Amino acid sequence: MPKYQIYAPALDNMPWQDRPDEPSNSPLWRWSENPVINRNPIKGVARIFNSAVMPYEGKYIGVFRGEQCDGVSFIYLGRSEDGLHWEFEPEKIHFVDENGKDFQPIYAYDPRLVKIEDTYYIMWCQDFYGAAIGLAKTQDFKTFTRVENPFLPFNRNAVLFPRKIGGNFVMLSRPSDSGHTPFGDIFLSESPDLKYWGKHRHVMSRSSNWWEGLKIGGGAAPIETSEGWLLFYHGVCQTCNGYVYSIGGAILDIDEPSKVKYRCANWLLTPEKWYEERGFVDNVTFPCATLHDPATGRIAVYYGCADTYVSLAFGYVDEIIDYIKANNRTTWDDTDLGRR
Ligand code: BMA
């Protein structure tokens, strides 16, 4: 049994590969067959990246950022037997409003997918007179009902926690500008009904660690563990050749997740492979989802690569949490409640 407990349903058929025998500076390692999804995966879609998957009816389902040949991104549904080989619906997801009428965003990108009780929620970035968060729900992956936009523009990188905390839905997000945003910190908001949001808290800011010195943003839905909420997020640094996106790790307090218990000073994954270093936007690793299994402590991270591919990395909950703790570097405004 793992030292640290993951509180989630069993997932004994999750994709997995043992750690290769090669030098590494991370508790994560990559699937040897990466990328999971290659270029031109759907007719009319040039690239799929920054996408989220979930277990569903004994198999896997996912919401995928498909960048069409015309450069506009939408969300596409994909299904897989094993989490590795994916088949996509040829048409983008069609949304309706709460009265059943068509309600399609102008564009939609960087989706996350989170199950809370018996409902699946999709969060993404869309136009709401500028970059903002879109939110929809489904129970059958056939009807996708948009609900109120949670936040004012500008905002990106929203992800719900996989259960209510203190009776409320809780969502991480990253207030931003509408462009390429040369700043950004992670905040948290609560809602009793997914309509009215408040109790906003600061969670953590960009830091003096080189790989997250410019901006950070939420990534995969936090994983509930016996140490707290394990969060994989992205951190961005600015180089003379542009932005570099790495994957970071933090552990948030279980009852008051705006308090950061541990925050890893080192990246957990940074662009090193050709599919991370080279693509439509070079040097991007961008986590959007995990699969995880409590009995084995196995975690699989799905991450977008270079705005061109989806890839997979693996790790054990014990090794990841111990690595985060061993390299912990929090500041007072990480560990406080985040209210001023
Ligand atoms: C961010 C988002 C991501 C993208 C990244 C790198 O602002 O748009 O979708 O992966 O830039 O281009």
Query: Is any ligand 1 atom within 6 A of the Cβ of residue 108?
Result: no
Cα 271 to middle of ligand 1, angstroms: 14
pLDDT at res. 210: 97
pLDDT at res. 292: 98
Confidence class for position 289, pLDDT limits 50, 70, 90? very high
Strand pairing class (95-96; 144-146): parallel
pLDDT at res. 193: 98
Which residue is listed with tokens 């940074």? 270
pLDDT at res. 8: 98
pTM (global) more than 0.95: yes
Confidence class for position 124, pLDDT limits 50, 70, 90? very high
Confidence class for position 62, pLDDT limits 50, 70, 90? very high
Query: Is any ligand 1 atom within 6 A of the Cβ of residue 144?
Result: no
Q: How crowded is the C-beta side of 221, counted as CA atoms within 13 Å?
A: 28
Average pLDDT, integer, range 183-191: 98
Contact call for residues 123 and 114 (beta carbons, < 8 A)? yes
Distance of CA 49 to the CA centre of its chain: 12
Query: Is any ligand 1 atom within 6 A of the Cβ of residue 50?
Result: yes
**How far apart, in whole angstroms, are the C-alpha atoms of residue 237 and residue 208?**
10
Contact call for residues 172 and 187 (beta carbons, < 8 A)? yes
Query: Is any ligand 1 atom within 6 A of the Cβ of residue 276?
Result: no
